[in-house]
Amino acid sequence: MSDINKRQFNKKKTRLYNSRNIKSQNLEPSYDRQQKVLDVNQFIQSRDYEIKSFEQSQLNSKNAAATRVFQALPRILRRRAASHNVKRIPKRLRSKAKREMSSSLPVKKLPRGRRLYKLMLRSRLLKVASKMKQLNYDPMDVSFKKSNIRAQFKELRAEFKKIQEGQSHEYQKLNNSVGAKDLTGINKLGSRPKGNIKYSKRQKEFVWIPTHIWHVKRFHMVKKYGFQIPYSPNQKCFKLMNRWNRSKSVCFDTSYFSTLTVTIPESNDGTDAFDELASSLIGKKKVSAKVLNGEKSYNGMIYNDGVQICPGFIYMNKTLRSLLVRVYPSVYVKLFNSLKDKIQQIEGANIYDCRYSLGSIEMSGPLSLRSLSKLFHFTDLSPEMRDVWASLTEIKDSDLIPIGTTFTFNLQDPRIWQRPTKFPFRASKDQNIYDLIIALNSNSNVDNDVVNKLFSVEGRTASYDKQLSIKQLGKFYANPDKKPNEISHSQIPVVLSKIDTQRWVFVLPWYWVVPFWIQLTKVTDVKPGGSKQMIQFQFENHKLSFPEDYPWLFDGWAINELVGEANKLKNDKLPKSQVSVDQSEHNVSKIFSGNKCDWHTLRNLKYVSKFAGVDGKTAENIEATFASYNGPDREIKSLHDVIQSVKALESEVENKTEPIVELYDKKNEFHRAFYDNKYEIKPFANVVHTKLPVIPISLAILNDGTIEDNARIYSTPDGDDFTCVGFVTTGSMNLNIGKCTGVGCIIAQEWLVGKDISKLYVRNPGKSKSYVVKFTKL
């Protein structure tokens, strides 16, 4: 081969070709064609040669590739883009990864100069902090005067020396060496957790939930409501999560949901402030006796001063004169301040901010209880409760269990058992599922002592006493002769309650969330999910998701406006050659925006038409003429006048943050008149001052088609602006039924929602085609 050919010779391709090329014999000497006889011994020897060649070609092909062991993980083990850092590879694969990279390791660059000095200072700072932790003190209790590392190290070292010499009494001594303590605000908002000294700067604005480190390796995170919240797993999981939610279970760390507790003592004036507060939160005059006494929990809409604020969870216990409220973090501060003002007039009443002292884990799916039972190890369980729990763990579908069913337990540290273990007792064969349901409804499964521990600062602090560190657990695992009861001394108070169909919430102290979460993710029937999956499951079950599907509430209205602004910014960045969704929408509709659910325009259109006595049927043949005015108001004589008046009202918005739609209420006089279409809008200024009553509905495609977010809902197939009756707030493919479905709102009028035929028409924003759908009221 000449020098030119050698240069053009592609070694990589040739090596790959040779690795795939299997050498085989074309002639078979062991077979005699004339006599048609096969020499078996010779034939086997020939095949042995071919098999070895085939095996060698496979090995060559594997070695020819540049893929490392950690870059070819099973899908379930993938986290993010593979790193060549051996410390970021799963432990059981590290030795193999080191062997693969031993010949091609990069030259290690050591830090020099100022960078080396900073690293050394940081290392010394962390060493002092760890020593303070070993003495049961939290190093973050030291208030640093300066932010640079050198000054922090000097201050921390000085305080550490004072503690060693017994001179410092200003710091709270903890009852454990892992830094677990109760951060509760009594009659005020509590202080935020500062976290580890190494990562404290990152938590100044957005608090990390207890499982942040676990989630950040495997999930997309979003900064929202003052927390860093797990949004969705890194890997594609839309179909996977649907399957597990229908057949197994999915877990969520919902510690970012804010919790408060209220204690109200008995009064001697004949009125019970506890009952009044409970009824005002639920929005009913009378609260169920089982809910009031703590046998069941309340799950539904929560009210503040008679106004809906969000769906939430309430657990009451009149015996202890305490109640727990768990709501979305966006409405928490307003609710806390409102309740604080109410109980200030009650002597001896207190409100506790438990945002950073109580955490929660939610479970969804038919095997939720069975999965939880594998990490529940009880300290004191009565025989009756043991039989009930054993029966619950064997149920494959918890649909029959009533919503609101509540249990309280004293649990042990689940990390003592390395692997999830089954509940050691079996249910009685004589008891069937219906006997179990009767027992759950007739008997109380709540221990007031456990509730008191969970609700009180002292009880939560006592649960952290001598909490085991990872080092202590490692020593225990290394000694096979030791038994769990030798180091198991923690008693963890928890409340477990059913909040929806196949959904459970598990409330526990903040610093016990991580141990339970780590063990829960080891259960084979459990997959972790994020806030996106919570919305997906609600949507697939034809239920509303907060705040997206609540446009009549403050948060739902705000997110709709935010989506509109984001879509507008996105459209503005498009090149002129590309048509945006909003531009396409104007080809079909004259007045509606394609960027959001345009409730402003729908409200103005309905009320202006009613004011003028004009609709799409009576005035469609009237020709447009020159505009005429009666004082400042335009005279509306045709559809063109209606459209121009609606466009003129776009800028007349009193308060952009105030929702202009409200949920239909039978007790409201205007709502009843609107429902019967017997209402009046006079004078014209009332158009922008009157809210539009709406009803939430669920939609499903009848034939073929798609439903997208912000889709328009029409009463007729032509999709005219005057026949628009609502919007789809959430629309997508529903894997439960194999068709597109949606959740949205329509105007509350009898001719629309009171008729027998429940058919409507949906048109996606920017599209001209409409699809027939059936709807049901939610």
As a three-state string, the secondary structure of 256-288 is CCEEEEEECCCCCCCCCHHHHHHHHHHCCCCCC
Nearest one of 234, 263, 393 to 323, comparing CA atoms:
263
**Does 665 lie in the same domain as 577?**
yes
Q: Which amino acid is at 199?
A: Y
Residues 536, 733: Cα–Cα separation, whole Å: 10
For the CA atoms of the chain, what is the radius of gyration?
Answer: 33
- Using a 10 angstrom Cβ sphere, with 0-12 exposed, 13-18 middle and 19 or more buried, the burial of residue 307 is exposed
Q: Tell me the pairing of strands 661-663 and 692-701.
A: parallel
CATH code of the domain covering residue 324: 3.30.70.1400
Helix (H, G, I), strand (E, B) or coil at 592: coil
The answer to whether residues 613 and 654 touch, using CB atoms and an 8 Å cutoff, is: no
Helix (H) or strand (E) holding 567: helix 554-572
Residues 293, 274: Cα–Cα separation, whole Å: 11
**Does 377 lie in the same domain as 348?**
no
Among residues 305, 331, 359, the one where a domain terminates is 359
Residues 229, 216: Cα–Cα separation, whole Å: 9
**Does 711 lie in the same domain as 588?**
yes
The answer to whether residues 408 and 451 touch, using CB atoms and an 8 Å cutoff, is: yes
pLDDT of residue 619: 47
Number of structural domains the chain divides into: 5
Nearest one of 234, 281, 230 to 256, comparing CA atoms:
230
Query: Does 462 reside within a domain?
Result: yes
Residues 595, 561: Cα–Cα separation, whole Å: 9
Residues 233, 231: Cα–Cα separation, whole Å: 7
First to last CA, the chain: 80
CA distances, 102 to each of 86, 94, 98, 638 (Å): 11, 12, 6, 82
Nearest one of 250, 208, 214 to 229, comparing CA atoms:
208
- The alpha carbon dihedral of 695, 700, 701, 707 has a sign of positive
Give every strand in the sheet of 219-224, ordered side by side.
207-208, 227-233, 219-224
What is the reported pTM? 0.82
Q: What's the token pair of residue 333?
A: 């501060």
| H helix runs in 147-201, sequence order | 149-165
pLDDT of residue 16: 58
Q: Which residues of the chain have pLDDT under 50?
A: 1-2, 24, 619, 621
| 369 φ/ψ angles, rounded to the nearest 5 degrees | -65, -40
Among residues 507, 528, 551, the one where a domain terminates is 507
**Does 613 lie in the same domain as 479?**
no
Residues 697, 543: Cα–Cα separation, whole Å: 9
**Does 290 lie in the same domain as 429?**
no
pLDDT of residue 399: 81
The answer to whether residues 336 and 351 touch, using CB atoms and an 8 Å cutoff, is: yes
Residues 760, 725: Cα–Cα separation, whole Å: 9
Query: Does 562 reside within a domain?
Result: no
Query: Does 117 reside within a domain?
Result: no
Query: Does 190 reside within a domain?
Result: no
pLDDT of residue 371: 92
CATH code of the domain covering residue 724: 2.40.30.110
**Does 686 lie in the same domain as 608?**
yes
Q: How many CB atoms lie within 10 A of CB 501?
A: 12
Q: Tell me the pairing of strands 692-701 and 207-208.
A: unpaired
Query: Does 648 reside within a domain?
Result: yes
Q: Which residues of 200-222 are buried (b: 16+ CB within 10 A; e: fewer)?
A: eeebeebbbbbbbebbeebbebb
Query: Does 641 reside within a domain?
Result: yes
pLDDT of residue 167: 61
**Does 459 lie in the same domain as 400?**
yes
**Does 471 lie in the same domain as 340?**
no
pLDDT of residue 159: 66
Helix (H) or strand (E) holding 245: helix 238-247
Within 76-196, strands assigned E span 185-186
| Matching residue, tokens 């929560």 | 302
Residues 100, 65: Cα–Cα separation, whole Å: 12
The three-point CA angle 763-764-767 to 5° equals: 90
Q: How many residues does the chain have?
A: 778
Helix (H, G, I), strand (E, B) or coil at 507: strand
**Does 705 lie in the same domain as 721?**
yes
Residues 6 or more apart whose CB falls under 8 angstroms from that of 138 comprise 132, 171, 172, 174, 179, 181
Among residues 462, 490, 507, the one where a domain terminates is 507
| Matching residue, tokens 């030791």 | 482
Q: How many CB atoms lie within 10 A of CB 80?
A: 13
Q: Which amino acid is at 688?
A: V
| Matching residue, tokens 């069975």 | 370
Query: Does 447 reside within a domain?
Result: yes
Q: Cα-Cα-Cα-Cα dihedral of 48, 52, 57, 62, to 10°? A: 140
pLDDT of residue 166: 64
Query: Does 543 reside within a domain?
Result: no
**Does 487 lie in the same domain as 347?**
no
**Does 772 lie in the same domain as 689?**
yes
Helix (H, G, I), strand (E, B) or coil at 439: helix
Helix (H) or strand (E) holding 516: helix 513-520
Q: Which domain holds residue 614?
A: 567-777
Residues 1, 223: Cα–Cα separation, whole Å: 63
pLDDT of residue 510: 93
**Does 329 lie in the same domain as 452?**
no
Q: What's the token pair of residue 168?
A: 């410092």
